[in-house]
A and B are shown apart, each in its own frame.
Chain A
Amino acid sequence: MLDKLFRCGLLAALILAVAGAAASATELAEPPVFASIDHVLDLLIVAKPEPVNLAPFRFTGWVYDVCRRPAHGNSCPSSTVSHYGGTRLQLAKGDKLKIRLVNQLPRDPDAKHQYDPGFEYLVLNPTNLHTHGMLVSPHFPTVKNPTYGDNVFVFTLNRANGPPPAGSYLHGLDMRYGYTDYEIAIPRSHPSGLFWFHPHAYGITLNQISSGLAGILTVGEPSDYVCTTACGMPANIPVRHLILKDTQVVPPHTLQDQEDPAFCDYQRAAHDPLRHGNCLSVNGTGTGSDRGRWFFTVNGQQYPDIAVRAPLGEIWRITNASASVTYKLQLTNAASHGNMLMQIVAIDGVSVRPNAVTPTCPALHGAKSNPALCVRELVMFPSSRVEVWVTYRDRNGQPVRPPAGAAAVFRQAGMQTGPGGDSWPQVDLASVRFTSDTSARAASSRVPPVLTVNGEASALGDPVQIAKELAAANAAFPASARCKPLAKGHSRRIFFNAIPGKIDPTPHPADAGDQGRFGLGYEELDEHGQPVPGTFVDVSVFDFTTPQLCLTLGPHNTPVTEHWELVNISSEDHNFHIHQTKFKLVSQDVVGGTTVPNGNGVLHDNVPVRHADGICNSVSDWRAGKCRAHPVEVEIPFSIAGDYVYHCHILEHEDGGMMAHIRVRASP
C-alpha cells in the first residue's frame, strides 16, 4: 500500500514537475549574457548551422555560438548553448570588445544575389560583423594591430565551402578564410544604451539575419540615465530585453532564408488559428502540415508570457532584429482593448532628453514639470531600438496596482509601407500579465507618473569627447586631397529609389514583383538649396570601391556637422541608417512613428523616409513634379574617420544595392 502511495506520489510529482516545466517554458527568458571582465570582453563567436525548434517545425537555423575566448582553437566548448533568440553582450563605457568571428556556415544556394554578375561568390556564404549604432572606429588591420574595428569591408569565408569561383575579382574589400579578429574600443564618452550586432555582408545580409544571426549589445545600465532613488523610485527598476526576430519555414522542415514579404496574408483569415507568434503561409490550404509558417519570436520564443509587477513596472529594451519587417507595436489591454501608454526612455541607444516643446505624456499630473515622451504604439523599422517604461495605469494614465487578472497582448498590429511596399502581417507576439507588487520596496515607494530621464542625446549632438578619445584611430586615416569639407552653407541631398529597367538576367523566384535592385543617388546643394553643378550622381547600386561621399573632419579632427536632406522618390517606405554616428532630425522628429516638433532631445541611427506620392521613375521625374516626396532633414555630426556606409536597413533593399560608401578622413 505504501509502495503504491509512493508510486502515485512520484507520478503526481512527475506530472507537476512536467507541468511546471511546461509553464516555465512559456515564460519569456532573458537572452544569455556575456559581461566584460576588467574592462575587456574577449569572445569567440562561431556562425554555424544549428537545429532550431519552433513548433511544429524543427529546422536548421544559423546561430552564433558565443563563448569566452578559449586559449586555443576556434571552437566553443561542446557545452555551449547556441541561442537562436540572440545573446546579449554587456559592456561598460571605456571597455574593449574583442571578438574572433569564425565562419562555419554552409553554402547558401538560396541567396538570390549570387546570380548578380560578379557576385557568384555569395553562394559560399561569406559573413562579417557590424556593431550597429556604436560610436567606434572602423579601423583596418595594420602590421602593429592586425584586427579590424567595426568595419564592414571584410568578408570571412568558410574554407569548407570551397574557393571563390575562378574569375572572381572582388574589388574594394578584404576577403579571409576561416576567421577574423575584431577589436573595438568603446569610448568612455560613449552613450549608455542598447545596440546590436549582426552580419553585414553585402548581398547576403538578409539571408543571414533571417536565419537567426543577430544578438544585442548593451553599454552601461538604464540606471545611468533613469533617475531612481533621487526621484522617488526604487534603485533598480526591473529591466527586460526583447529581441524581435522572424523566420520563414516551409514543410517539411526547411528554413527559407530568402524571405518572401508576401509569405502570409496581412490579416488572419477567419478559419485560420490565432496568430500567436506565427502566421500561416498563403500557400497550401487549411491548417494542416502542408502550410509553412512565418515565425515572429521574442528572444527566440513563440508567444511567451511576460509577467510585469506593477505599479513599479519594467523597462523594456526592444530591438527590431528583423531583416526587413517593420513593426507597429502595441500593448493592448485585454479588458478595455485600448492600447496602453508606454514612456519612451531611449531611442537607438541614446537616452532621450525631451524639453518643453516636446509633447509630454497626456493627462498626467506634474507632467509639465517633468517632460516625457509617451506613446500608445511604436513604429520600429528594421534595426531600430526603443526602450520604454511599461507599467499598469489607470484610465488617467496614473501607475496603479493592477486589478486581479489584468492582462495585455504585446502585438504587431501590422504595417504597410506604401503602395509599392510591403504589408507586414499582424501577429501577436507575447501575452502580458500584470501582477500586484506587494513588496516592501514597492509599498515604500510612490511611483511617479513618468520617469525622469537624464538623457544623453543633447550632449552627443556634438560628440567632441568621442573625437578626442578616438584621435589616434582617426589619425590612421590621413587626409586625402580627394576628400574635401563641405562648403559653408552647403548641404547634401540623398535620393532613394528602385532602379527601373535593371533586369536580372537570371531572376530568382523570390524576385517576384520586382527586379530586386535598389539604389541611392546624390547631389550637393548650395546655400540657396540649389543643386551644385557637376555633383549629381544618379541613383545607382552600391559599389565597394567608389565612395559616394568623401569628407574631412574639422580642424584638429574635431567633429564636423553636416545637413542632409533624405528624399525618397519611390513608392515604398525606406529607412536611412548610417554607421559610426548618430543624427538628429532638423525640422521635426519622429518618435515611435509619430511626428512631433523637434526638441533636439532625441538622436537616431535610423529614421523612416516616407514613400513619395505619385510615380517617379527617376530624379528627373521628381524634378518635373511627377511625384511629391516627403524629405527628411537631418544634422549629422561626423567625429570618426574611416570607410563606412549609409543605407536602407530594409535588407532586401540594402542587399539589392540601396547602400553607399562614405569616406571620412582626418583633417589636413
Chain B
Amino acid sequence: MTRAPVGTGRVRAAVILALAGCVALSPCWGRESGNPSLAAIQAAYDAAKAEADGNHVDGLTIRDADCQQDRADAYSCQITFTATSGAEGRLYFDVIGLDRERTGWKLVSGLCKRHD
C-alpha cells in the first residue's frame, strides 16, 4: 500500500473544489465561462465580417470592452475600438450584443460601418 504524500489530500480537495466552482459558475459545461474576452470579441467580429453580409467594415481592432450578462448566454458590451480607415488616433465606441454558443461567441448586433 502506498501512502499518499503529505498534502496530496489537500491538493485533491482543492482540485475538487475548483471543479465544483467551475461547474457552478459555468452555466453550460464545456463552453467558455464568464464575460467575453477582447480576443473573443475580436474573433466574433472577424467571423461576422467573414459572412460578408454588408453589416461590417474591415479593419476594426477591439481595444477595450465592458460587458455584462443580460440573459443566459447573452451579453452586451460597450467596446472601444480603432479602425484602419479612420483618422489617426481616432477612437470609436459601440454597444454590441454577443451570444455564447458551443463553438464560441457570436456577434448579434453592433460593430458596423463607421465614419472615416
Contact = CB atoms under 8 A, between A and B. Distances in A.
A159 interface: yes
A590 interface: no
Contact of A176 (B89, B95, B109, B113): B95
B66 A166 contact: no
B39 to A, nearest CB: 20
Given A165-B109, A170-B112, A177 B66 contact: yes
The number of chain B residues touching the other chain, given as a range, is 20 to 34
A146 interface: yes
B47 to A, nearest CB: 15
A404 B116 CA distance: 65
Interface string B82-99: 000001011111110101
Contact of B109 (A140, A143, A168, A172): A168
A143 B66 CA distance: 17
Interface string A150-170: 000110010100111111111
A140 to B, nearest CB: 6
Contact of B114 (A141, A157, A168, A172): A172
A169 B109 contact: yes
A7 interface: no
A162 B109 CA distance: 13
Interface in B64-109: 66, 68, 70, 74, 76, 78, 87, 89-95, 97, 99, 108-109
Contact of A166 (B91, B108, B115): B108
Contacts of A177: 66, 76, 78, 95
Contacts of B95: 157, 163-164, 175-177
A481 to B, nearest CB: 11
B109 A166 contact: yes
B108 A167 contact: yes
B115 A153 contact: yes
B37 interface: no
Nearest to A546: B113
Contacts of A159: 68
A176 B68 contact: no
A144 interface: yes
A664 to B, nearest CB: 13
Interface of A, secondary structure class, is loop
Given A143-B89, A144-B89, A169-B109, A164 B70 contact: no
Interface of B, secondary structure class, is strand
Contacts of A141: 90-91, 93
Contacts of A545: 113, 115
A154 B92 CA distance: 10
Interface in B32-77: 55, 66, 68, 70, 74, 76
A550 to B, nearest CB: 11
Contacts of B78: 175-178
A477 B70 contact: no
A140 B110 contact: no
Contacts of A165: 109
B113 A146 contact: no
Contact of A142 (B76, B90, B94, B116): B90
A122 B94 CA distance: 15
B92 A174 contact: yes
Contacts of B97: 163-164, 166, 168
> What 5 pairs across the A-B complex have the smallest Cβ distances?
A163-B76, A171-B113, A142-B89, A177-B78, A166-B108
25 contacts: A140-B87, A140-B91, A141-B90, A141-B91, A141-B93, A163-B70, A163-B74, A163-B76, A163-B97, A164-B109, A166-B99, A168-B110, A169-B55, A169-B109, A169-B112, A171-B114, A172-B113, A174-B94, A175-B95, A176-B78, A176-B95, A177-B66, A476-B87, A477-B87, A643-B115
Given A163-B97, A164-B109, 16 more contacts: A140-B87, A140-B91, A142-B89, A144-B89, A162-B70, A168-B97, A169-B55, A169-B110, A169-B112, A170-B94, A170-B112, A172-B113, A173-B115, A175-B78, A478-B87, A545-B115
